[in-house]
Amino acid sequence: MNILLIGSGGREHALALAISKSPLLTKLYVAPGNPGTAAIAENVALDQADHRNIIAFCHRMRIDLVVIGPEAPLVAGLVDELEAAGFPAFGPSKHAAQLEGSKGFTKDLCRDFNIPTGAYERFTAAEPAKAYIRKHGAPIVVKADGLAAGKGVIVAMDEAEALAAVDMMFSGSFGAAGAEVVIEEFLEGEEASFFALCDGEHALAFASAQDHKRVGDGDTGPNTGGMGAYSPAPVMSEDMSARVMREIVEPTLRGMKARGAPYKGVLFVGLMIGAQGPKLIEFNARFGDPETQVMLPRLEEDLVPLLLACAKGKLPAGPVKLKAQTALTVVYAAKGYPDAPERGSEIRNVDKAARLTDILVFHAGTKLDGNKLLANGGRVLNITALGPDVRTAQQRAYAAIDMIDWPGGFCRKDIGWRAIAREHKAE
């Protein structure tokens, strides 16, 4: 099979690595890819927004499957256009990608199909939104309806902050994404992510993970795309995973089918696990970054038939075969991230670290200048380690990081701390 993978982050390097191991693969192209994917596939300079050019490439290279990493091309309808041109694609249609593209769409689906989530209301003007906040009080959560690169959510601990968030969103700070606002009940508990593969009709539980969104140690400072993650999430017991499938994933698939938008691809379920069980915080219509960098290294079967089954229907009954080991990844970011990452600093000894047993180094924002590796983005590398428990995986990941010589980079020193505290308690 010839496969085209769209994207350029650590998630795509992890996907490319798993796909490259498939006996079914003839040739893998990654567009645009990064220096990590270049080592295991052929990078091609295609613009993910130029759907016509992508389809022309698929014709030229006789592509059998297109795998889409990021959300923007999904929400822009790339899957619909590929399928109309006869190319199977892994990912939801434009309509189904509204599960990520519109928080209001998702909340209405939850209401109509009895999916557990926080109480909410949708608003298109500031005054009624403020009245709702005054009525319900803080803490309360204010969300821009559309895609806002992870920045459209304000968890307001007091009323004034919530009112200010409403003004900020309706003032156009988030462009079209903020033209509508969802105000939601504050949920308490432990956050976890759960991933299910879907073929429009059926869902197959894939894996769980937890990430660290804040830039600083102890989960402090501004939010980022994710500074590290581990899989599995200890809070996601078998019983909890089964509840999430039954109470959230399966009704979502039924609801999407009833809405005329059957959901195919991976459903990324952002959860709050509280006293009453799992509640939905949000859906994403794609794999997580950096969650993918800890889930795929645990996969013990060929990824390609699973991706193909999502695209074409007929997912196997499962379960997916995963290593019992824990995987933990630390994001190595350029100084200045998330506000203004410095570009161009040199990174040495990545290959040395990548040769360690139980270590995988995934590239994200890197570029090659001759044979020099340079930082070229915010999140630059992901150092993933496997181990028998979170603590061992963490030690291995940081030992590998210590071998990398990159004065222009920084990472959190405590990825996995919550899970390690749980392991200590269990001892």
> How many alpha carbons lie under 13 Å from residue 38 in its C-beta half-sphere?
11
* Shortest reach from residue 342's CB to ligand GLY, in Å: 22
Binding mask 135-174 for ligand AMP (x = CB under 6 A): ------x-----------x-x-------------------
Say which entry of ligand AMP, ligand GLY, none residue 289 contacts (CB below 5 to 8 A, set by partner kind).
ligand GLY
* Shortest reach from residue 291's CB to ligand GLY, in Å: 6
Say which entry of ligand AMP, ligand GLY, none residue 118 contacts (CB below 5 to 8 A, set by partner kind).
ligand AMP
Q: Angle at Cα 283 formed by Cα 183 and Cα 390, nearest 5°?
A: 115
Position 282 contacts ligand AMP (CB under 6 A) = yes
Position 270 contacts ligand AMP (CB under 6 A) = yes
Distance CA 361, CA 387 (A): 15
Write the burial class of residue 268 (CB in 10 Å: 0-12 exposed, 13-18 middle, 19+ buried): buried
Q: Which of 291, 322, 328, 411 binds ligand GLY (CB under 6 A)?
A: 291
- Report how many residues bind ligand AMP under the rule CB under 6 A: 13
Say which entry of ligand AMP, ligand GLY, none residue 12 contacts (CB below 5 to 8 A, set by partner kind).
none
Q: Which of 50, 83, 121, 191 binds ligand AMP (CB under 6 A)?
A: 191
Buried b / exposed e over 371-388, threshold 16 CB at 10 Å, is eebbbbbbbbbbbbbbbe
Position 226 contacts ligand GLY (CB under 6 A) = yes
Write the burial class of residue 162 (CB in 10 Å: 0-12 exposed, 13-18 middle, 19+ buried): buried
Distance CA 91, CA 80 (A): 10
Say which entry of ligand AMP, ligand GLY, none residue 288 contacts (CB below 5 to 8 A, set by partner kind).
ligand GLY
Position 289 contacts ligand GLY (CB under 6 A) = yes
Write the burial class of residue 369 (CB in 10 Å: 0-12 exposed, 13-18 middle, 19+ buried): exposed
Q: Which of 284, 293, 329, 394 binds ligand GLY (CB under 6 A)?
A: 284
Distant-in-sequence contacts of 44-47, Cβ < 8 A, 24+ apart: 44/4, 46/6
Residue with tokens 């994710």: 226
Q: List CB contacts of 104: < 8 A, sequence separation 6 or more.
A: 122, 145, 180, 182
* Shortest reach from residue 284's CB to ligand GLY, in Å: 5
The greatest distance separating any two alpha carbons of the chain, rounded to the nearest whole angstrom, comes to 61
* Shortest reach from residue 221's CB to ligand AMP, in Å: 14
Binding site for ligand GLY (CB under 6 A): 211, 225-226, 284, 288-289, 291
Binding site for ligand AMP (CB under 6 A): 118, 141, 153, 155, 184-187, 191, 213, 270, 281-282
